[in-house]
Amino acid sequence: MSPAFLGSNMNSQRWECCLALERLLLLHLFLATSIQGHSQRQVITVSGNNVSLHIPNLPALSRVTWFYTANQKIVEWESNRTNFFNSKFKNRASLNESYALCIYKVQKEDSSTYILRVLKDSGKEEDWTISLEVLDPVRKPGIKIQTLQEVNNSCHLKLSCEVSGQSANYTWYGDSGPLPTDLQSPVLEITVYQQNFSSYYTCQASNPVSSKNDTIYFSKLCKLAKSSGVAWIATWLIVMVPIVPGLLWT
């Protein structure tokens, strides 16, 4: 592997960050929108990931500085010398040949608008910004029954599934697919009849980096299945059987 990297305070596996990025590309949403001809970049990622902040196609440069905030420098490169400043990034960042800043094991507190200030060979200085948003994976929601009321062969159902202390969007699913509800609201309130009741309701909580769900099962109109746990285990057995021989032969 090429030793031509610009610098890092870590002495092993310094290339992993950028390699990891390519493998984990699905977990990174790279959004670029053009603002006054300049690219405004945004990286959204899940905490614990290694992240690479990169401005492609930079011209020849004589100095490069990465800032965490306007007055907190992370690293400066000038005339082939790289200097990491005393910051929380000192032992977990590196700079590669194309001036990409790799940050290892990002945490929520690393969320910020990072600035790349470059001094071009022409003597002109220019700034680029990349906003990094680090999110924790959404926690598993738990469905709570607020109302379960049978009236005249209909069932009035009010279920909630909030993930506390985290912002998330909610989608509810039944037998016939997604149910029309307000994305921002963790509450499902519906009236169903014999002809359109569902044998289960799944609440899916999601944020831009992850999603988790919970399901509640019904045996008939307005009657909860005796044990939702049994249904869950049965599903797992069906899924596991074809997988196990597959694992043995690979």
Ligand X SMILES: *[C@@H]1O[C@H](CO)[C@@H](O)[C@H](O)[C@H]1NC(C)=O
**Residues interacting with ligand X, by CB under 6 A?**
13, 16-18, 20-21, 49-50, 52, 54, 79-80, 96-98, 100, 104, 151-152, 167-169, 173, 183, 190-193, 196, 202, 204, 206-208, 213
CA dihedral for 95, 100, 106, 111, sign (positive or negative): positive
CB closer to ligand X, 177 vs 246: 177
C-beta of 219: minimal distance to ligand X in Å? 18
CB of 72 to ligand X, least distance (A): 22
From the CB of 71, what's the least distance to ligand X, in Å? Answer: 26
C-beta of 36 vs 57, nearer to ligand X: 57
Shortest Cβ contact with ligand X: which residue?
16
Q: Which is nearer to ligand X, 125 or 150 (CB)?
A: 150
CB of 67 to ligand X, least distance (A): 18
Query: Residue 86: which residues within 8 A CB-CB, separation 6 or more?
Result: none
Nearer to ligand X, 104 or 218 (CB): 104
Q: Are 90 and 9 in contact (CB under 8 A)?
A: yes
Helices (H), the chain: 16-23, 228-248
Cα dist from 92 to 86, 88, 126, 215, whole Å = 12, 8, 26, 40
3-state helix, strand, coil in the chain (%, to 5): 15, 50, 40
Q: Do 204 and 176 form a contact (C-beta atoms < 8 A)?
A: no
Amino acid at position 189, single letter: E
Nearer to ligand X, 70 or 237 (CB): 237
Handedness of CA 244, 25, 112, 138 (dihedral sign): negative
Q: What does each C-alpha distance from 180 to 177, 186, 207 come to in angstroms? A: 10, 12, 19
Residue with Cβ nearer ligand X (112 or 210): 210
Smallest distance, ligand X to C-beta of residue 214, A: 8
Q: Count Cα neighbours of 86 within 13 Å in the Cβ-side half-sphere.
A: 0
Q: Find the shortest distance in angstroms from Cβ 96 to ligand X.
A: 4
The residue (of 86 and 153) whose beta carbon lies closer to ligand X is 153
Please state the closest distance from residue 23 (CB atom) to ligand X, in A: 7
